[in-house]
Every structure is written in C-alpha cells, then in structure tokens.
Amino acid sequence: MAFFVVIFFSWMMVLVEAQFVNQNAKAMAPADIKCSNLAVSKQIFSGYVGDDVYLRESFFSCAKYEEEKVSWWKKIFGISEALAADYSALKLLESDRFLEMRPGESKKFIIGFKNTGSVVWTRDSGPYISIYTYDPKYRTSRFQDSTWKLREQPSKMDQAEVAPGQLGFISWTFHAPSDIEPGWYSETFHLAAEDLLWIPGGQFTIKIFIDGEAVSEPQPVVTEPEPSQNNQTSTVTSSAGYSTKLLLRSHQSVQAKAGQTIEFTAGFKNYGSSIWTNEKISLPDVATASSGLDSFYHSSWQSQTVVKEYSQSIAPGGLGFFKFSFQAPSKAGSYDANFNLMANGVAVPGGNIYIPITVTDDGGAIPPSTTGNTYGDEPIIRIGLYDLEDDLNLTADKSFKVRTSCGNDLGTYPAGSIVVAGYEKSTGQYFFQKASTSYRGSCYLRFEPVSGQNIFELTNYEKRPAWNRAYNDNKFRGIIEVRVSETGYPWVINELPMEDYLKGLAETSNYSPLEFQKALMTAARSYAFHHWENPYK
C-alpha cells in the first residue's frame, strides 16, 4: 500500500511542478529558460514561442540555464536527472562532403557521431537521440522529405543503443523541390537528447549544390544479376534484393613501404531488401589469375581469395563496417587493389573497394623489430607532464629499473609491478617505495627501460580526452623522471626521442584523414624542435 501512495504522490508532484512552471514561464525572458518535453499528464501549450523556446504539442518543464536543479521532492525519493555534462558528441564521419542534387531529386545522407559522454544513447526509450533542424531551431527545411519523422526532425539514431566511446549513425533523405533555383544551399542540424538538451558537439552543417534539369521523380537503381559465363548454370545466388554503396573508408589511397601491412576499414550501407547475415571481403575473380608482383596476400586472410569473413546482421538501411588487412607488394611502383563485398554468398552490386597503392621502395616484407629503433643523432626531448601533488604510482609493460640522479640503483622490477614515488615539500626529499626497497633523499628519481623500449603507465594519473571519456592518456614511452623545478614544484617529466613523442599525439585519432595526420605531425615536430633548440621553458 505504501508503494502505491509513493507513486501517487510523485505523480501529483509532477502535475503541480508542471502547472507552476506554466504559470511562471511567460513572466521570464525566453533567453533565461530552456524547455524540454518531459512527460506530464496535461498538454500545456503548442506553437512557436521564440528561438530558445519551442513547445511541439507536448508537455514541458523549464529550468534556468545557470544550473541544473532537481526538485526537492525528487531529492527526497532519490530521483536523479541526467545533466548536460553527461552528454557530449564528436562528429567523425559523413557520407558525402556535400550533396549535389537536381530539382525534384532525393538523396540519402549519413552522419556518424562518437558518444564522448558517459550516458548510453538510446533510440527507442528515454531521452532518445535524434537530429533537429537548427539555426534557427525547429525551422521547416526546404529539403524536407516525406520520410522525415516530423517537419523539424528528420530522423532518430539508426542503432538501438550506442555506448560511450562508440559510433552512432543517423541517416535520412533530402528532397530538392522541383521549383528550387540552382546554386548553393546550407542546411544546419543539431543532435539532441529528446526532452533533455542539445548535445554539446552535435551541431553540423551540410552544403547542398542544386544543378541541372529537374527530374519528375527519383529514379530507382535496378541492378540485374550478370549471366554466368559460357551459358553454364551459375552456382552464385541471384543478386536480386542486394544492393550497397561504399559510404565510408579509412583510406582514399595508400602510400606504403614494400611488404608493409595495411589495415583498412570500409563502411557499406545495405540499400537492398535482404538482410545480410554472412558477409565476407574477397578478391574479384580476375585477381585469382594474377600473381607475382601484384600480390596483396596477408597472413590473416582466410584463403588465397577470401580476405575475411564476418557474421554481422545488417538489415536493409543498416550500415556495416568491415575491417581487414592486406600487404603492400614487394617492389616499388603504383598498384590497384580491388576487393569485393559478398553477403549470403552473393557478390553485392556496388560492393567493390578500389584502393590505389604507391609502394615507395623495394625490399620485400619488413620483419618486426626485436631490438628497438636506432635514433642516431635524433633529438631527445623532455616533456613536463604535470606537477606532482600526490604520490606517483607507476608500472610498465616490460621490465624496468629505478635509479637516482646520484647513481643509486633502487632495483629492477618485472612488467606489471607497481612502484610508489614522490616528493615531500616539507622536507625537500624524494622518496621511493617497493616491497623491502625504499629510498629517501635529495637525489631525483628516474624510471628507465632495462632494454629496448617500454611503455610506462601512471596508474593514479587521469587525463581523459573530451572526445572519449573512456580513454585515459596515462601511458608514455621513453623514461619517466620525478624532479623539482627551479620554482620549487615537483614535476613528472617524460624523456624520449622526438619521433617517439610524435607517436603519442592526442590531438587526432585514426579516424582523421591521412593528410591531416601528416600535417599535424609536421607542425608538432616543428614546435618540439623549436623548443629543443631554444630551451627557455
């Protein structure tokens, strides 16, 4: 009985809260309030209020922008509300740089966002994820298609759930009016958690170019299955019901050394009517007859012609990602790599992957290094990671040794061992502790690999990038040093060769275009080299 009393009381408080908000919202300036479609049991208002307030035939509550407030009765019963800080997004992928359309034509568009917040995105429950027209908010788009959910809301997220750190995709169709004038147009949208907030990082703009004569209606693409050669009975299933398009790819082209392994990711959308359940990337038939210098065979392949098999379930309209590896040929020159997507035993029309490859030198396969890199006169740089306020907890992926600047050997420790070090400002002494070994003195501490290269992990240090809170940038190559600066602050310092430093750049990811990564590396190298030549910091 008590349970039902609590439920009834909570329901009544929602009604009272909504009524109070409704009575007071008109007295507030639109810029001071935000509204969301939180479910209450009475329709309050419908229509456009202003750029910051729009109530779409639904229920709402409002709160000041300055802070996220939770009602006192919700605090009593322990009811929490998601905050804006729990939601954030990073746009990583688009199916096209811009859309080129003719009047009367329709085209699909796909965008991919990484969930960089701490809340699981959902499509069918709670504050579901979708996109709305923006700038101004909730406007009616000139390119609205009949498939849109609402005039201001093109579509929900494609997947049912997207966990933090994962990619979420939204696909929808643009339709160019038959009477639209040729030229460039811009359409701005924003990712939203329904009834909650505009997701930070979720705004984007799509450029549309209208050109050519008008078409009466979109023309469907029909792909007929190719007849088998020599009029023999084909052993391949008919391609009716199968169609795809390569929307996303990790590389437009590849430049590699002879024998180098290349990892490639392709994103295909299922434009057919059949569900893909057994997929594979394979070589086209003509490739099986080639040999010698044009071989892209990699040891990870299933066979000489089957690159990789998958067991995804991709429904019509869904997007599938296929990651595989191949090897650059053993001689310098230009090559063309071709792969095909197959699903359920069918060579899917539109499933070709063409990759131009430039091999820069001869030399065959590159054996893995077992002794580490040789750097010669490469600059050794020192990076101040952070000023140490608490103890430093450190481990490594290989054996490491601990020494002081005065030459004291504090021992060698196996991979995975966690040691503790630090600096006491009150006594001006460094300290180190591991099992029966301890040190306390005025000589600063260095943690070095026994041989080759180590990756040190600072287990109690957190530096999580905004684009993915699931990651922690607390692993470092080279040498770790604990040392007091001239200003009296103890610093954790990373000492390593220049090129190793560049391997750990956190300002980009593998999703970025290759040329962007090259440009960023060049800029970072120039910046670091400048400070190496001019050590005034």
pLDDT per position as a tens digit, 438-484:
899 999 999 999 887 889 999 988 888 776 677 788 899 999 999 99
- Band of pLDDT at residue 375, cut at 50, 70 and 90: very low
For the domain made up of 242-359, the CATH class stated in words is mainly beta
- Band of pLDDT at residue 508, cut at 50, 70 and 90: low
pLDDT at 214: 60
pLDDT at 152: 92
- Band of pLDDT at residue 224, cut at 50, 70 and 90: very low
Task: Give me the chain's average pLDDT, please.
Answer: 76
pLDDT at 233: 35
Q: What angle do CA 381, 382, 385 make, to 5 degrees?
A: 140
For the chain, give every residue range classified as CATH 2.60.40.10. 86-210, 242-359
pLDDT at 39: 33
Mean pLDDT value of segment 113-136: 92
Cα distances (angstroms) measured from residue 486 to each of 73, 226, 489, 490: 54, 76, 8, 9
pLDDT at 502: 79
Answer whether residue 325 shows pLDDT above 60.
Answer: yes
Q: Which residues of 493-528 are buried (b: 16+ CB within 10 A; e: fewer)?
A: bbbbbbebbeeeeeeeeeeeeeeeeeeeeeebbeeb
What's at 451, amino acid-wise?
S
| Rounded-to-integer distance, Cα 318 and Cα 91, Å | 19
Classify burial at 346, counting beta carbons within 10 Å of its beta carbon; exposed 0-12, middle 13-18, buried 19 or more.
Answer: buried
Place of tokens 């040794």: 401
The per-residue pLDDT for range 394-434, each reduced to its tens digit, is 999 999 999 998 888 999 999 999 999 999 988 999 999 98
Mean pLDDT value of segment 512-531: 79
pLDDT at 534: 67
Mean pLDDT value of segment 317-346: 88
Answer whether residue 1 shows pLDDT above 70.
Answer: no
pLDDT at 220: 41
246-255, 258-267, 344-353, 435-444: least confident range: 246-255
Task: Pick the more confident residue, 290 or 191.
Answer: 191
Answer whether residue 258 shows pLDDT above 70.
Answer: yes
DSSP assignment of 314-368: B-TT-EEEEEEEEE--SSSEEEEEEEEEEETTEEEEEEEEEEEEEE----S--PP
When mean pLDDT is compared over 27-41, 46-60, 183-197, 210-224, the highest value belongs to: 183-197
Task: Pick the more confident residue, 243 or 318.
Answer: 243
Percent of the chain with pLDDT over 90: 29
Show the 3-state SS of 477-488. ECEEEEEECCCC
The per-residue pLDDT for range 94-120, each reduced to its tens digit, is 877 788 888 999 998 989 899 999 999
Torsion of CA 180, 186, 192, 197, to 10 degrees: -120
The per-residue pLDDT for range 279-291, each reduced to its tens digit, is 999 987 543 433 3
Q: What tokens were used for 321?
A: 């990602």
Q: What tokens were used for 389?
A: 């306020």
pLDDT at 22: 44
| Rounded-to-integer distance, Cα 371 and Cα 380, Å | 19
| Rounded-to-integer distance, Cα 434 and Cα 454, Å | 19
- Band of pLDDT at residue 69, cut at 50, 70 and 90: very low
pLDDT at 353: 92
| pTM score, whole prediction | 0.36
The fold of 86-210 is Immunoglobulin-like (2.60.40)
